[in-house]
Amino acid sequence: MGEAEKGLAYMSKGKKTTLGRGGDAGLTGVVEGLLPEIRGLIEEARHRAVRAANLSMVALYWNVGRVINTELQRAPGRAEYGSQLIEQLALRLNREYGRGFSAPNLWDMKRFQATFQILQPVAGESAILSPVARESGCQNPPSSLVLEGRNLLLIDFSKHYHLGWTHYRILLGIEGARQRRFYFERTSVERWSKRELQRQIARALFERVALSSDTRGLVKLEKQKGPVEVADYQEAFKDPYLLDFLGLTGTYSEKDLESAIIANLQQFLTELGSEFCFIRRQYPMRVDDEDYYLDLLFYHRRLRCLVAVDLKIGAFVAADKGQMDLYLAWLKRHEWREGENEPVGLILCTSKKRQHVELLLAAGPHKMQVSEYLIGLPDKRVLEERLKMYGRLLREGESPRKAAEAAKGKGQR
C-alpha cells in the first residue's frame, strides 16, 4: 500500500471513529430536525395528488354525462332509446373499465351533467372538459346559471375542490331544486364530509331553516347568487337550532342541557357551524364580590370575536338580556384583545316572543342574538306549510312579514 493510500485509509478510519463516538448523536439531531419538513412535503404532495385525482374523476363523470346527453338530444321523443343506449354502454364499459361504469352510475352521470355546470377545468387538465365548460369560467361566478333553459348549479374547482363524486351523488338524490342548491352551498361553505352532508339532510336542515322566524333573511338566502358569506354577527347564528342528538327527554335542567352539550361537543360544534371554536364551559367572571359563570364560551374565526352562549330553559325574558349584557361587558373589559371585534352573545332558549326580542334587542350597548333550540323536529305538517309559504313568497314577491303572520295564524287554527 502506498503512502497516499495509507493516508486515505487513516482518514477514513478516523472519520468512522469520530462518528461512532460523538457524531451519531449529532447526525440524529440533524435527521430529527429535517424530518418534519420532509414529512410535510410528502403529505402535501399526497394531498395534492388525491385532490387532483378526485377532481379529475368529477370532471370525467361530468363529461361522460355530457356525451350521453348530447347523443340523446339527437333522438327526441324516443324514451326507450336512452335506456337501451345506457345499458349497452354499461355492458361495454364494465367489461373494459370495471363496475364504476354500471348502468346506475351512467344514469347518475347523465343527471349530473344536466344539473351542474363546471366553470373551470382541473389545473393542467383543461383538455378533458368541454368547450362550454372552459369558456364559462369567470372570476366571481354566481352559484347557479341559466343555460339552454336549465337552471344549473355551478362548480368552481378553486372553491369546491373538497367535494367528491359521492357528494354530488347525494345532492342529486334531493328532489327540490331550492333544497339542492341550499345543501350544495352549505356543503361548500362548511366543507362538510359526505357523512355530515347525509346527516344534515336526514336532520332536515333546510326545513329547520324554513322554520326560522327571520323570513326576510331566509328569502335573501334563497335568492342569493353565490355562496353565503358571513357579513355580520346575525348571519353567523341559526334560528332554530336542532339539538336532537343530545338525547334529552322529559324534564331537564339547564345543567343537564349544558352537560349533554359538552358530552356531544363535536356534534354541537357542527350544528353551530365550522367557524366556531370551543374555549370553555362555566367561564368564571368576578364582579365586585360576586362570582358569575357563563355557560359556554366560543371564538368565531371569521367574525374574529368571542361568542358568549347562555342556555335557558323556557321562554326568553327581559332578565336574560340583562344577564347577557353583564357577561359581554365583562368580556369586553377583561378579555377583548387588540385586533378582535367586540364580543357577541347568543341566548339559546326553548321559545321566544317576537315583540320581546325586537324591543329588548333594538338598542343596547352590546350585540346579541336570541335563538330557539329544538330537541326534536316539529310536526311534518308544520314543515310542509312553512316550505309552501317560502316557495310562494319567492315566486310572488309577497311581503315576508305578512306571509309569516298568515302562516302562523293558519297553524294556530
CATH number at 269 reads 3.40.1350.10
For residue 53, being part of any structural domain is answered with yes
Task: Please tell me whether residues 122 and 248 are part of one structural domain.
Answer: no
Contact between 92 and 103 under an 8 Å Cβ cutoff? The reply is no
User: Global pTM?
Assistant: 0.49
How far, in Å, CA of 356 to CA of 336, rounded? Answer: 29
Closest CA to 155 of 64, 274, 163: 163
For residue 188, being part of any structural domain is answered with no
Q: Which residue has the cell 378533458?
A: 128
Does the pLDDT at position 233 exceed 90?
Answer: no
Task: Please tell me whether residues 261 and 342 are part of one structural domain.
Answer: yes
Closest CA to 116 of 103, 98, 129, 125: 129
Q: Which of 130, 146, 166 represents a domain boundary (last residue)? A: 166
The helix (run of H) or strand (run of E) holding residue 88 is: helix 79-97
Task: Please tell me whether residues 242 and 346 are part of one structural domain.
Answer: yes
Cell of 313: 330553559
Q: Which of 166, 193, 223 represents a domain boundary (last residue)? A: 166
Cell of 303: 367574525
- DSSP 8-state symbol, 23: I
For residue 184, being part of any structural domain is answered with no
Instruction: Say how many domains are in the chain.
Output: 2
Closest CA to 272 of 242, 245, 304: 242
pLDDT tens by residue, 378-398: 566 666 666 666 666 655 654
Task: Please tell me whether residues 250 and 361 are part of one structural domain.
Answer: yes
pLDDT tens by residue, 262-275: 887 877 877 777 78
Task: Please tell me whether residues 158 and 261 are part of one structural domain.
Answer: no
Task: Please tell me whether residues 162 and 241 are part of one structural domain.
Answer: no
List beta partners, residue 371. Answer: 348
Range of the domain at 337: 237-377
For residue 225, what pLDDT is reported? 39
